[in-house]
Amino acid sequence: MRKHNWKSATSPGRALTIALLSTLLMTQSAHAQPQFEVIYNFTGGRDGANPGSALTMSARGVLYGTTDGGGDGYGGVFELKPSGSGWILNPLYSFTGGTDGGMPFGALVIGPDGSLYGVTEFGGTSNVGVVYNLRPGPTVCKTALCGWNETVLYTFGGHSDGSYPEGRILFDRAGNMYGTTTDYLTGSNGTVWKLTPSGGGWSKTILYSFNGPLNDGRLPDSGVISDSTGNLYGTTAAGGSTDNGAVFQLMPSGSGWTENLLYSFQGGNDGDIVFAGLIFDPAGNLYGASSNDGSIGGGAVFEMTPSEGGWAFKPPLYGLPGIRGYEGGPRDSLTMDSTGNLYGTRVGNAAPNDYGSVFKLTFSGGSWTYTSLHDFTGGSGGGYPFGTVVLDSAGNIFGTASVGGTDGKGVVFEITP
């Protein structure tokens, strides 16, 4: 389990901690609920190892995802297709850790052209990350397993240019891309960036550089989302008035952008250390989750509503189970279904048999009811789900667990309703 010390921002990345947990989980046994099924076990070979991000589902029901390790040693991108009563995995690309990038920390996005876009936290000419695109080759593939071609769209330069991008890319209607850099190993506080198509390539602009604790957020970990008017919203893992994390808004203003700090987490029932990003509901309310503390130690699910030209932070919807100080709550955004139910994952906190869970929050009678859909216990069932879940049209739930499985290298799972 990746456990950055976000208050000092000097701890190692997720891959090292996952490797240690993988060894631990080889001795654990899984007690899967009947509706839970492992649909793929990673081997650590060309298929990859330790999937640490959410899946992306195409309109045809094909799953795309990334692994932090395996392949050429620096992670890869895979495609998982339904086939009869099972699934077939096709490794699309394996990162070398060189100029092509390494360790893709963040869910893939299917762009307007139908190809895949993402970021790697490391690699590139300065070894601080790249933005990349993957697409099939120009000729028809005649075998069951065919790789895709990678194009590096931008290489981060570090310092004022930003370092260590994480999270999901956002496309706007004009085809521009937006994302964040955490800068967590450089002593900087992170950035929000934009890539604009330009002359057959891409031109990068820093929209905002965070100023750090107490007067601003710092360490944005999850990318940004946009409202209908083009304002951007996101979270920071630290910073804010008490250095426990913050929610921010960026508004276009003339030739630049203006930041509004919408909420600073206090480390009480609202929680702290906010890795997870935000989502909108159809009414324009924001939902998110903190990863630590809250009323019972494992973070809290929260809602923010538009109010008198600003935003109001409502009392937390639900305090998540966990142990304070272990950052065992959600590391990725929540998912909302068509009826307004919320879904998410807890990473878990290294307590006996707590290797994370998939949960559902249902609103009824003025309050929210928490249901654990599956509790990971390690071993063949996997453990430590860093990414959120995705739902298909039938309500089946898909996700990844970063360790465990038959080879200890992580799994893709399905939960049926």
Sheet holding 390-391, edge to edge: 36-41, 411-415, 397-401, 390-391
**Cα–Cα–Cα angle for 316, 320, 322, nearest 5°?**
140
How far is Cα of residue 356 from the mean position of the Cα atoms in its chain? 15
Report if residue 373 sits inside a domain.
yes
pTM for the full predicted model: 0.91
Q: Are 235 and 248 in contact (CB under 8 A)?
A: yes
Report if residue 82 sits inside a domain.
yes
Report if residue 14 sits inside a domain.
no
DSSP string covering 226-253, please? E-TTS-EEEEESEETTTTS-EEEEEEEE
Q: Are 290 and 320 in contact (CB under 8 A)?
A: no
Strands (E), 113-253: 116-120, 130-136, 148-155, 165-171, 177-181, 191-198, 201-209, 217-218, 225-226, 232-236, 238-239, 246-253
**Residue 59 burial class via C-beta count within 10 angstroms: exposed 0-12, middle 13-18, buried 19 and up:** exposed
Q: How far apart are CA 370 and CA 273, in angstroms?
A: 21
Half-sphere exposure of 44 (CA within 13 A, CB side): 10
Q: What pLDDT, on a 0 to 100 scale, did the predictor assign at position 144? A: 59
Q: Are 85 and 95 in contact (CB under 8 A)?
A: no
Q: How far apart are CA 410 and CA 383, in angstroms?
A: 7
Q: What pLDDT, on a 0 to 100 scale, did the predictor assign at position 31? A: 40
C-alpha closest to that of 413 among 33, 15, 28, 14: 33
Torsion of CA 314, 299, 357, 232, to 10 degrees: 60
Buried b (16+ CB within 10 A) or exposed e, 379-411: bbbbbbbbbbbbbeeeebbbbbbbbbbebbbbb
Q: What pLDDT, on a 0 to 100 scale, did the predictor assign at position 142? A: 61
Q: What pLDDT, on a 0 to 100 scale, did the predictor assign at position 8? A: 45
Q: How far apart are CA 400 and CA 388, in angstroms?
A: 8
Contacts of 366 (CB under 8 A, 6+ apart): none
Q: What pLDDT, on a 0 to 100 scale, did the predictor assign at position 71? A: 93
Q: What pLDDT, on a 0 to 100 scale, did the predictor assign at position 143? A: 63
Sheet holding 256-264, edge to edge: 225-226, 232-236, 246-253, 256-264
- Domain range enclosing 271: 32-415
Report if residue 113 sits inside a domain.
yes
Contacts of 325 (CB under 8 A, 6+ apart): 292
CATH number of the structural domain spanning residue 41: 2.130.10.130
C-alpha closest to that of 245 among 300, 205, 285: 300
Q: How many domains, the chain?
A: 1
Task: Give per-10-residue mean pLDDT for the chain (417 aa).
Answer: 42 43 43 74 97 97 97 96 94 97 96 97 97 89 78 96 97 97 91 95 97 92 96 98 97 94 97 98 98 96 94 96 92 97 92 90 94 93 97 96 97 95
Please write down the long-range contacts of 91-96, taking CB distance under 8 Å and 24 or more positions apart: 91/46, 91/47, 91/48, 91/145, 91/147, 92/64, 92/116, 92/134, 92/147, 92/148, 93/134, 93/147, 93/148, 93/150, 94/46, 94/48, 94/70, 95/71, 95/120, 95/123, 96/72, 96/123
Q: What pLDDT, on a 0 to 100 scale, did the predictor assign at position 26? A: 43
Report if residue 377 sits inside a domain.
yes
Report if residue 143 sits inside a domain.
yes
Report if residue 1 sits inside a domain.
no
In terms of DSSP bridges, do strands 86-94 and 109-110 run parallel, antiparallel, or are they unpaired? unpaired
Report if residue 12 sits inside a domain.
no
Q: Which two tokens stand for residue 163?
A: 């370092």
